[in-house]
Amino acid sequence: MPKVKHIILLGPPGAGKGTFSSQIKKIIPDLIHVSTGDIFRKNIKESTSLGIKAKEYMDKGELVPDEITNSMIKNRLEELDKHYWILDGYPRNIGQTKYLSGIANIDLVLLLSVDTEIIKKRILGRFTCLNCDKIYNKYTLLPKKNINENKWICDDCGKDIEFQQRTDDTEKTLNKRLDVYKTNVEPIIDFYKDKKLLKEINAEDTLAYTNKEIKEILKF
Ligand code: AMP
């Protein structure tokens, strides 16, 4: 098994954190992907009180308040107990970073760097299979089988999918999310640099990384 047990993926929206998590999972199948954005979206779909509260902030591209996000992540990590996990979308500011350091040991922090123009193309073209969550892109990664202009068959699960954007993947909300990222990320980077946990990787085309390269990144 790899020495690295708890990983954080840092990077702007659209850096490909979800995609890179899937690539890492192919190498460490037991690794559990924990995405705060996915947990919020699941709660919104199920209309829980957490979901209703979170939606208010998410639709504006703002961060959900720390007291809500921190206790949600604490519960999830407690459930995961001795498992290997990878955090995607958390921590998002220095308060969450310090909170996390009090509840978990982190082995590696990967900072995914991508040019802003590439991010915009990725986010504004992004759509997901509602059945299995596989991520596609209108410009760069369409499913193989096309039914009509806006409808495809999912490559992974075989169900029909339509081009449907996340409600926060609009240009206005994206610009706000990028601002929020830029304002908050530097202190997080410094925090993990000081602890010698940070490794920066070029994420312009993570699908081009070979398993060998990913293993090197993970100090496998
Ligand atoms: P993501 O799917 O990671 O792009 O997150 C989508 C949205 O969920 C963000 O724009 C925030 O509104 C909210 N969110 C996700 N993770 C966090 C977090 N760690 N802290 C606060 N809000 C978050």
User: Structural domain boundaries of the chain?
Assistant: 6-115+173-217
Which CATH superfamily hosts domain 6-115+173-217? Answer: P-loop containing nucleotide triphosphate hydrolases (3.40.50.300)
Q: Give the pLDDT band of residue 197 (cuts 50, 70, 90).
A: very high
User: What is the average pLDDT score of the chain?
Assistant: 94
CB-defined site of ligand 1, < 6 Å: 13, 36-37, 40, 57-58, 61-64, 69, 89-90, 92, 96, 168, 177
State residue 42 phi and psi, 5-degree precision.
Answer: -65, -40
152 close to 145: Cβ distance less than 8 angstroms: yes
pLDDT for position 185: 96
Q: What are 65-99's pLDDT values in tens digits? A: 999 999 999 999 999 988 999 999 999 999 999 99
Q: Give the pLDDT band of residue 144 (cuts 50, 70, 90).
A: very high
Handedness of CA 104, 135, 94, 49 (dihedral sign): negative
| Mutate-to-test residue for ligand 1 from 17, 45, 64, 66, highest number of ligand atoms within 8 A of CB | 64
Q: Indicate whether 206 pLDDT > 70.
A: yes
pLDDT for position 1: 65
Q: How far is the CA of 1 from the centre of ligand 1 (A)?
A: 31
Q: Indicate whether 63 pLDDT > 90.
A: yes
